[in-house]
A and B are shown apart, each in its own frame.
Chain A
Amino acid sequence: MRMWDPRIEEMPAEDLRRLQYRLLKTLVYRLYSFSPFYHDRMKATGVHPDDICCLEDVRKLPFMKKIDLRDNYPDRLFVAQQEDLVRYHVSSGTTGKPTVVGYTGTDLDNWTASLARALTSCGLGRGDVIQVSYGYGLFTGGLGLHYGAEKIGATVLPTSVGNTERQIELMQDLKSTAIACTPSYLLHMGEVAEKMGINIGKDTHMRTAILGAEPWTEGMRDRIQSWLGIRAYDIYGTSELSGPMFCECTEQAGIHIWGDLALVEILDPETGDPVAEGEKGELVITMLQKEAMPMIRYRIGDITSIDESVCACGRTHPRIRRITGRVDDMLIIRGINVFPSQIEYALMGIPEVGQHFQIVVDRKGALDDMLVKVEVSRGAFSDKITDLIQLRKKVEHKLRNTLNVGVNVELVEPGSLPRFEGKSKKVIDRRVM
C-alpha cells in the first residue's frame, strides 16, 4: 500500500491550510473556554479567539515552553478529566520534576494514525515483522511504535531495549523485516551481531530501520545503509506531541509533518519571527487535535528548516529536515533527554559533593557513555577509600534516578572544575556522529 490515508496525505495544499485554520480556530475557542492555563496566557498576551482570522494569526498566540510543563506538574495543563484519560507517559523535565503527558482515547487514535501513515510511507505494511527495540514503559517510543505497527497490520516483535544477543537471535528466527530503535542502538546491534558471526545485511531479513529519539547524521545513515544493508529512515517526535509521530517517506527527503495534526512554524530563536522557507530556525509546533493536553506554539528547542513543496512521493504535507541542533543545552543520551540543570538539581541534595560538575559524553562502541565529574567537598571526604567509593555510588544512584539513564561518576578535587564558563566547558561532547 502506497499511502495509509490518501485523502489526507494527498490533500491539496490550499485545502490542507483551510483545514488547519478551521482546526486552529476551534482549538483556540475550546482552550479559551476550558483551560485556565491557556485562558490566562491569552488574556496576559492580549489575544482573544476572535483575533484568529487566518492561519498566520497563530503568531498572535503565546508560546509554551518545557518550563510550563514543569511549573504545572503533574496535570494542571490537562484539559480532560482524569476519567477521560486512557494513558500517561512520563519524560524527563529540566530539573527534579518530570514531564507528564496524558492521552484520551482520541489522542491515542490520532497518534497511532500518524504512525500508521508514517510507517506506510516508508514501505511497511501487512506481512512485515517489525521489531520494536525502543524502551517500553513510561517512554513513548516503545508503545507508540507498537500500536502504529499493529495498526498497519504488521506483526510486532516487542523486544524493547537491551539483551542484544537475544534480540539478534529473535531477529533471525522470526524473520524481522524492520526495526524501530535509536540509530546508536542499531549500530551497537550490528557490532554485537558481527561478534556472533552474523551479518545483519546478509543473514537476516532486515531491510528497514525506523530510527529516532536522538540526533543522527547523514554520515550515520550512509554507514547503516552500506554496512548493514538496511534502508534507514528518520522518525521525529517528543512526548509533548504524543511521542514519535512523523517520519521520512521512501524518498528520504525530509520528515513529513501531518498538517491535520500539527502546525509547524520555524522561527528565529532570538526574535521569535518566522524565517524564510528553507532557512534554519527553531521548530515551534501547535498540535491541532490533541484533547487531553493541548500544545499551542510549543517551543521544543530543536533547530531545523522546512520545505513546503509537494514531495516526490505525492504527499502534500510540509517536511522538516534533519534536526541539526538545540537552542538550549539539552543532551540526548541513549535516546533519553538530559538537561544539565537536572544534574545540578540532583547534586544539590548531596552535601559531600559541591554543586560544580562537568559532563563528558563519548561513545563506547556505538553507545553513548556519560561521565559526570563532581568535586568532593572540602572536609566532607573520608580518608577511607571504601567510603569514597560508597560516595561515588551514591552520586551515581541519585543521578540515575533523576535522569533515568545510567551515568558514571568521577570524583575530582575541589576547585578543579571550570567555573562560570558556560555550556562549552560544562558539557564536553566527544561523540562523532
Chain B
Amino acid sequence: MDMKPFIIKQISVFSENRPGRLAAIARALEEDGINILAFSIAEADGFGVVRALVDNPDKAYRKLTGGGFSVNFTDVIAAKMRDQPGGLYEIARILGDGGVNIEYAYAYSGKEGAVLILRVDRVDSAIELLLKHGGELLKTSIFH
C-alpha cells in the first residue's frame, strides 16, 4: 500500500520562550497568505517548539527560513475522530494495541468534525493499522 498520500508535512519552528516570538511567526505566515489549519506549542525551560499544519508547507518553510527562523519538516498523520465521547479512545486504542508509540499529538474540532494530529514512532505501521480498523486519514492532497 502506498502510504505517501497520508503522510503530512508539519512545520516545526524552534523558538525562544519570550514575548513576541509567536507573533513574529504568525505575522510572517500572514504576510504570505498562509493559513494555519492546526497548531500547538511545546515548551521547555527557556525555549519551545511551535508545530503547525499549514495549507502550503513549502511556502511556509521558505518564508520562515528566509526570516531567520529555524524550521523543520516533520512527518505526521491526521486522523479523523468521531466528535463524541470515545472518539479519541478508538484511535489511541488501535495504535496502542498495535504497539505504535505516540510521541506527541494535538487536535482540532472544526465544521467537518474532529481531527487528531499524531507524531508517532512508526508512521507506516500507524497508517496501516488505522486504515485496517476503519479509520479515516486526511490526505496530503488537501494541502498545496
Contact = CB atoms under 8 A, between A and B. Distances in A.
Instruction: Determine if chain A interacts with chain B.
Output: yes
B14 interface: yes
Contact of A414 (B70, B74, B103): B70
Given A376-B14, A388-B47, A413 B72 contact: no
B14 A384 contact: no
Given A389-B44, A411-B46, A382 B72 contact: yes
B68 A413 contact: yes
Contacts of A379: 70-72
Interface residues of A, number: 18
Interface of B is mostly: strand
Contacts, number: 54
B39 interface: no
A410 interface: yes
Contacts of A328: none
A383 B49 contact: yes
B72 A381 contact: yes
B68 A384 contact: no
A385 interface: yes
Contacts of B63: none
Contacts of A413: 14-16, 68-70
A22 B43 CA distance: 68
A378 B65 contact: yes
B104 interface: yes
Nearest to A386: B103
B139 interface: no
B46 A376 contact: no
A412 interface: yes
Contacts of A388: 14, 44, 47, 49
A415 interface: yes
A382 B71 CA distance: 9
Interface string A369-384: 0000000111101111
Contacts of B104: 384
Interface string B35-46: 000000011101
25 contacts: A376-B70, A378-B65, A378-B70, A378-B71, A381-B12, A381-B14, A381-B70, A382-B12, A383-B49, A383-B72, A384-B119, A385-B44, A385-B48, A388-B14, A388-B44, A410-B46, A410-B47, A411-B47, A412-B47, A413-B14, A413-B15, A413-B16, A413-B70, A414-B70, A416-B16
